[in-house]
Chains A and B, each alone.
Chain A
């Protein structure tokens, strides 16, 4: 135990150690080791996605008919697929698809969901009732069925897949945010804003929304992993991202099963990539929830 700080100078120094961010990272790693592992995986995936053009050894779309289905070797670390495309390269490029779809869907879903949730809580009464009934309708669909239905309407392709995955997220986020917003609505500052004559839009966006940011953030991160998984599932069914785009779920489709015995690397590595990425996002999301939700905070 160090002696208690005596002067102002000592106090400020205690609050700001010299290696501030290094110290902060060390503290985070020590306190939430699982969260740190998750953050590291997310960081790795993001770096791969951003630098894919430089670090990937091959062109993700280039067919090489001389090297079809070749086993992992020095030239192709993770082997090649039925078109002779390098599996490692396609996994690296696949991280772009996964992150774009995951982030896009979470962002759209969380934004729409929280706007609906806060609005519904703010107005209450009949508006709230109607919005909740409509949300109930969406809740009656399994997530994948709802996403499939949206794909059936909009068609396949990355942009539509983002919307399809965001759709099931909207009611989930709306419900959670609404329950937090209900208590925010009773706060005196909301009454004060009303009394000052602010419009509904301003109160919802400027006064209520910032105060329900914690559950939105938790829902958003929690959904990131699920969105990546959903994208992989849709692509696997052939109803998501389309060939020849590199996407992990797509790599597991068709040929991967057909050649499972002769070329197991095709079925193995993309699945590993999906699992690892989702695992990272879930670990991180969990730690974030623990940190933001005081009820579950460990001593």
Chain B
């Protein structure tokens, strides 16, 4: 087991390095950089080339690529993301400011999704091809179909028209005022959670359908076991693993993937930071965020992998 964990941990390193190299090179392939974005973006077409060169030198953009890369890597080794090329403030600080919001939103959405997805999926599988099953399937396929930014806009619109009230637009941390915090974040969490729940429900339904066809379920039924017990004790345990994977994968992606929803609800989270980074061509910021999201994703995957063995003792690690 310890060997397996070590092996998996070591396998993460080349993937992360690949992500780092890929994003580093891709960013620099594109014409235009942060200096151009700053000066030409302001409409001043006639900034002298010298001034731009001086700016580039300050940011280290005049260095050869391999030098830029090694200095970035050197910083990372000391857990230093460097400074934003656009604002000049340390990236660690910028991320820290927004991380709580994004993490809380991701956790809330996951909780909503999990609590809905598992019972709905079981119900649909158990009542396969009845109206209950159709209703759950339509509910979940609709969840996949509705863009979360549209659902979000509709929520705001409905609250505005019906209650003449909009959720607060300024972020309050949970520990400062839990009420204000929840009043703001519950809506985006619901908008995102619906789609997320749909993914989970579908997975739960299909794995449950497979398990319900197994012989041991028939045996359990034949000996007269209570249906509820068969579903929760016998079937669920064997059907939950792929659902767990889907839910955790979605969770890992939520941290950086809320780009559009944050835009609708005007939330200053990591997604917003990413979009700003792209429009400013802020290399260091984009690199840091991409690496952060990838690390988070790989960590969650790793934890799920280890959890598999604990949930299903049949799985042996080689």
- Residues of A whose CB lies within 8 Å of any CB of B are 33-34, 133-134, 136-137, 140-145, 148-149, 152-153, 225-226, 229, 232-233, 236-237, 239, 249, 252, 256-257, 260-261, 264, 267-268, 271, 274-279, 282-283, 286, 295-296, 298
Contacts and interface: CB of A to CB of B under 8 A. Distances in A.
Nearest to A268: B154
A141 B293 contact: yes
B197 to A, nearest CB: 15
In order of increasing CB-CB distance, the 3 nearest A-B pairs are A271-B150, A142-B257, A279-B145
A236 B163 CA distance: 27
Of the candidates A225, A236, A268, the one having the most CB atoms from chain B within 10 angstroms of its own CB is A236
Of the candidates B23, B147, B290, the one having the most CB atoms from chain A within 10 angstroms of its own CB is B147
B15 A34 contact: no
B147 A229 contact: yes
A159 B22 CA distance: 22
A277 B144 CA distance: 11
B60 to A, nearest CB: 20
A134 B18 contact: yes
Interface string B194-206: 0000000000001
Is the contact region of chain B dominated by helix, strand, or loop, or is it mixed?
helix
Contacts of B156: 260
B16 to A, nearest CB: 8
Given A140-B298, A275-B142, A282-B141, A236 B147 contact: yes
Interface in B255-304: 256-257, 259-260, 263-264, 274-275, 278, 286, 290, 293-294, 297-298
Interface of B: 14-16, 18-19, 22-23, 26-27, 29-30, 128-129, 134, 137-138, 141-142, 144-147, 149-150, 153-154, 156-157, 160-161, 206, 209-210, 253, 256-257, 259-260, 263-264, 274-275, 278, 286, 290, 293-294, 297-298
A34 B297 CA distance: 34
A278 B157 contact: no
B18 A141 contact: no
Nearest to A38: B141
Contacts, number: 134
A246 to B, nearest CB: 17
B290 to A, nearest CB: 7
A267 B149 CA distance: 11
B256 A145 contact: yes
Contacts of A141: 19, 290, 293-294
A284 to B, nearest CB: 10
A267 B157 contact: yes
Given A133-B18, A252-B150, A237 B263 contact: yes
Contact of B275 (A226, A237, A282): A237
Given A149-B23, A152-B30, A267-B157, A136 B137 contact: no
7 contacts: A237-B260, A260-B153, A267-B150, A267-B154, A271-B154, A274-B146, A276-B145
Nearest to A295: B210
A143 B257 contact: yes
Contacts of B18: 133-134, 136-137
A142 B196 CA distance: 14
Of the candidates B27, B145, B154, the one having the most CB atoms from chain A within 10 angstroms of its own CB is B145
A233 B147 contact: yes
Given A149-B290, A233-B260, A261-B160, A283 B22 contact: no
Contacts of B27: 152-153
Contacts of A225: 144-145
Nearest to B140: A282
Contact of A282 (B128, B134, B145, B206): B145
B146 A275 contact: yes
Nearest to B281: A152
Given A233-B149, A252-B149, A274-B146, 18 more contacts: A133-B18, A136-B15, A137-B15, A143-B253, A143-B257, A153-B26, A153-B29, A153-B30, A225-B145, A236-B147, A237-B259, A256-B153, A267-B150, A271-B147, A278-B146, A279-B145, A283-B141, A295-B210
